[in-house]
Structure 1
């Protein structure tokens, strides 16, 4: 059967089967879509938690660097003026 001779229902069935096989190959269970949605939500939570952790870590490192630079500057001023 060529693509030109396929009906809309035949094409829909073919696409549905291809999607189902792809999901099975990826390790997902297409017969339980709610469970798949929960799995994807869990992955999203892990991703956003990692992004938040990275942003907060960069902020902490930047804060430590700025605090050290200001302290070094103030110690230099104190030594320069001899007090």
Structure 2
């Protein structure tokens, strides 16, 4: 009986695995159709994928350059303010010592 039970368990496991694989393939096909449908409704055809990828890469580079420019601008403003304060302090000390 032990051999029969093991064979039955193996058959059931194999059947369940095959059923799971079939369901997964079906789900993958449905998802692919939905994504294609959504992209098509947005005006993006399958042939446009390379161009769309290039557009997104360009936008990413543009965003990074803008973020970098903002960082440099912030640092420049801090430097100007610090220099102005140091100049004002120096002028105050010079005037105070000159009297």
Would you call these one fold, judging by a TM-score over 0.5? yes
1:14 corresponds in structure 2 to 30
Q: RMSD in angstroms over aligned alpha carbons?
A: 2.0
1:48 corresponds in structure 2 to 64
Are 1:77 and 2:93 matched, yes or no? yes
Higher relative contact order (CA 8 A, sep 6+): 1
* 8 A Cα contact 1:29 1:36, kept in partner: no
How many residues are paired up?
78
**Which protein is richer in helix relative to its size?**
2
Q: Which sections of structure 1, spanning at least 5 residues, go unmatched?
A: 1-5
Computing the radius of gyration over CA atoms, which structure comes out larger, 1 or 2?
2
Q: Which sections of structure 2, spanning at least 5 residues, go unmatched?
A: 1-21
Name which of structure 1's ranges 17-26 and 34-43 shifts more when overlaid on structure 2.
Answer: 17-26
